[in-house]
A and B are shown apart, each in its own frame.
Chain A
Amino acid sequence: MIQPMIQPVIQPVVPPMIQLRDVRKSYSRGTESVLACAVDRLDIAAGEQVALIGRSGTGKTTVLHILAGILRPDQGSIEAVGRRLDQMSESARDRHRGRHIGMVYQTFNLLQPFTALENVLLGALFGRGAGSDSRARAEALLQQVGLGDRMHHRPRELSVGQVQRVAICRALVNDPELILMDEPLGNQDRATGGQVLDALLQLATRGKKTVVMVTHDPESAKRMQRTVDLATLRGATPVVAAAGGSS
């Protein structure tokens, strides 16, 4: 009797966009050492949109800075966009961040003396380099978010919503694989901010970009595909909540 051959099902292995293992980061406060964040394990797949939530002081922003390569953890390994950040030099992490990671802050962090277009171009300059195509791309992005007629205005001359959109354009100008957002709606009314955030997520989905957003706002978190509570990442498998519920 001939046994039928069993064909193994080969699942394509997609490396995660972000992989954190046993990450610890402490700060010195005088003689005291304060544990700022502890993540035993966190995986985020490419193209995922994840909200990192947690109470104040749980180290949400610290995790974001570690993911961006701005901070180096005291221990543990971090892989982001295919590179082990914990093994890279500071300047290599800077270059990696510039080319592959876009960042949007709660305070937007635009440079006041520069116009909206120049702020976006700054992102290009420190990212993939400032060429004529980056200018065209910056202008196209600003047009896309409805700031075509405001691109030569300085941040002080723009509304909060417009500033937020400039910050998003700056984050996207290098066409990064990973977008990190730190409370992007923190400074504005939910309706306006929500619209802009939806627009960003739409762009990210279209470009298959991974988005990690730190927020304490449940409404914003609901817009993401997955929610991760940082408090649950320490010493246990993370509890993952699906958008609008649990997953």
Chain B
Amino acid sequence: MKLWSISLRNLRIRLVATVLTMASIIVATALYAAILVMAEQTEQRYKGSVGGYQAVVGPKDASQLELVLNTIFNVGEAPGLFPLQVCMDLRSGVGVSRRGQVRYAVPQARGDSVSRFNFPVIATLDEMFSKYEWQKAPLVFAAGGPFQFGWDDLMAFATELAAHENGKRAGEVPLPPRPLLKKEWCKAVVGARVARTLGLQLGAVVTPVHGKMGEFGFHEHPEAACEIVGILAPTNSPLDTTIFLPLSTHLLIDGHEAGVFVVEIPPGKTPDDAKKLPVKPGQIALTAIIVDPKDHFGARILRNDFGTRPDAQVAWPQDVVPKFLRQIGNAADALAVIAWLVLLVAAVSITVAIYNTMNERRREIAIMRSLGATRLQILVIIVGEAALLSFFGALLGLLTCHGAACLLQATVEDMTGVYLDWLTFRPWEAWLLLGVTGLGAIAGLLPAVKGSMTEVADNLAADY
């Protein structure tokens, strides 16, 4: 028999009080752990997502945070449009210094979504799956493969579309034909979560929609219904919730005509005048370009190079996201403070619960003292009770947190996009366990001191 076994026995004797006090520890620990898990997974998701993007090019008048959040995290609407010419210049090295040269520049255009979950549709090139690197490696397909629509296809398509548009604006007869939406362009690649949530398999069809279901202006684009040719492997990033289509499909969607070309209104002209001005292939509208500079400091250099450019800017996610995360971090810290307060309240409940039993335990303590137990041993037994109570409470709290993460994984991911990894036990959980146990032990000190001060002779005389 050891001192801790006496502590454990004392907890079992007062089972109801033990369970109630432990419940408060469980809730507090679970709450604290849940906050940490959410904060950690959110940070991991954001930082991990940023790892796939060295630089993002976007419209000049957008804020850099807006541009990064929309392009990388699919947050909000696209902040504006800018011409394809920017991408053409980047790829050919026009207007950028030697160290600002890029390994790849993948154009993107967005505006539509799929399903009631509003999974964003990104129109892009097949380079998104061949050149673009997600954390230093191309995206991995869980099934199928990419659609076929490359840079040369885009150039040819843009030329054809510009000729048609110019003919229309000039009132040419016969009008140069509008490019047809080819069957090989009606292909889509979907992220892992899109496939899982919507139960999509290869060969299934997704139909882009514009606007939010039930809101004014909401409409479907059945003409652009695409067959799924590839499903990406999970990345625990917003890529999982994205649907990729060829840029040509996006540009040929009915109703997108007005936004296909970016036309600057010359000084002294009205928007109606601008609609009559001729357009070039380089004026095709984009929402973002994913860029990977060749140089280590390329993103910064590129940002400087683009400083004087009137139509576009470069955002450096590695710079923008940490600033944003610090804001998120502050909120998580505030929640952690609340969780600590809850833990403190639970610790006080331990003090009260054990302290209240001290009167009824005077005889028991006196008996142990009469057997040779020192005041210190009595103190250790009572502190041990508080520590054991806290230890088991914290342990169950951590398990509760993991259990809740398992049960709510899909819901949380749907609501916030954050993937809760409930199976992984993190090192800080051991520290939390120790911390709560220590806190409980401290909470047990007051009743322990009272118990150890019990007068032996006065309390031995009670009746059997």
Contacts and interface: CB of A to CB of B under 8 A. Distances in A.
A45 interface: no
Interface stretch (B170-178, B266-274, B392-400, B456-464): B456-464
A62 B457 CA distance: 8
Interface string A152-195: 00000000000100000010000000000000000100000000
Contact of A94 (B9, B372, B462): B372
B1 A111 contact: no
A122 B457 contact: no
A113 B13 contact: yes
Nearest to B9: A113
A99 interface: yes
A97 B1 contact: no
Contacts of B375: 90-91, 94
A65 interface: yes
A127 B368 CA distance: 11
Interface string B357-382: 00000011001111111111100000
Majority-rule SS of B interface residues: helix
Q: For chain A, which range describes its interface: under 10, 10 to 19, 20 to 34, or 35 or more residues?
A: 20 to 34
B9 A68 contact: no
B374 A109 contact: no
Most-contacted residue by chain A among B9, B372, B374 (CB, 10 A): B372
B2 interface: yes
B456 A126 contact: no
Nearest to B377: A126
A98 interface: yes
Nearest to B12: A113
A80 to B, nearest CB: 14
A122 B13 contact: no
A86 interface: no
Given A94-B372, A94-B374, A98-B371, A109 B1 contact: no
A111 B372 contact: no
Contacts, number: 79
B75 interface: no
B372 A107 contact: no
Given A113-B13, A122-B368, A71 B457 contact: yes
A123 B372 CA distance: 8
Given A70-B456, A111-B367, A126 B373 contact: yes
A121 interface: yes
Nearest to A120: B1
A78 interface: no
Interface string B88-126: 000000000000000000000000000000000000000
B9 A114 contact: yes
Nearest to B2: A130
Interface string A123-148: 11111001000000000000000000
B3 interface: yes
Interface in A8-26: none
A151 interface: no
A68 B370 contact: yes
Contacts of B464: 107-109, 163, 187
Contacts of A211: none
A70 B374 CA distance: 11
A190 to B, nearest CB: 18
A107 B463 contact: yes
Given A71-B457, A109-B460, A113-B13, A170 B372 contact: no
Nearest to A102: B371
Nearest to A71: B457
A91 B1 CA distance: 21
B139 to A, nearest CB: 63
Contacts of A113: 9-10, 12-13
A62 B456 CA distance: 12
Contacts of A163: 464
A109 B367 contact: yes
B368 A126 contact: yes
Contact of B371 (A90, A118, A126): A126
B3 to A, nearest CB: 7
Contacts of B369: 70, 94
Contact of A97 (B6, B367, B370, B457): B370
A98 B373 contact: yes
Given A107-B463, A114-B9, A130 B1 contact: yes
Contacts of A170: 371
A95 B374 contact: yes
Contact of A125 (B3, B370, B456): B3
A126 B213 CA distance: 74
Most-contacted residue by chain B among A91, A107, A109, A127 (CB, 10 A): A109
Nearest to B372: A98
Most-contacted residue by chain A among B363, B369, B463, B464 (CB, 10 A): B464
Contacts of A95: 372, 374
A79 to B, nearest CB: 19
A161 B302 CA distance: 95
B217 to A, nearest CB: 72
Most-contacted residue by chain B among A62, A90, A126, A130 (CB, 10 A): A126
Given A98-B373, A126-B368, A105 B460 contact: yes
Interface in B382-423: none
A67 to B, nearest CB: 12
A97 B368 CA distance: 11
B384 to A, nearest CB: 13
A127 B370 contact: no
13 contacts: A61-B457, A65-B457, A94-B369, A94-B372, A97-B370, A97-B372, A98-B373, A110-B367, A111-B367, A118-B1, A126-B373, A126-B377, A127-B371
Given A70-B370, A111-B364, 13 more contacts: A65-B457, A70-B460, A71-B457, A91-B374, A94-B369, A99-B372, A103-B371, A107-B462, A110-B367, A124-B1, A127-B371, A130-B2, A170-B371
What 5 A-B pairs have minimum CB-CB distances, sorted nearest first?
A98-B372, A126-B372, A107-B464, A121-B1, A94-B374
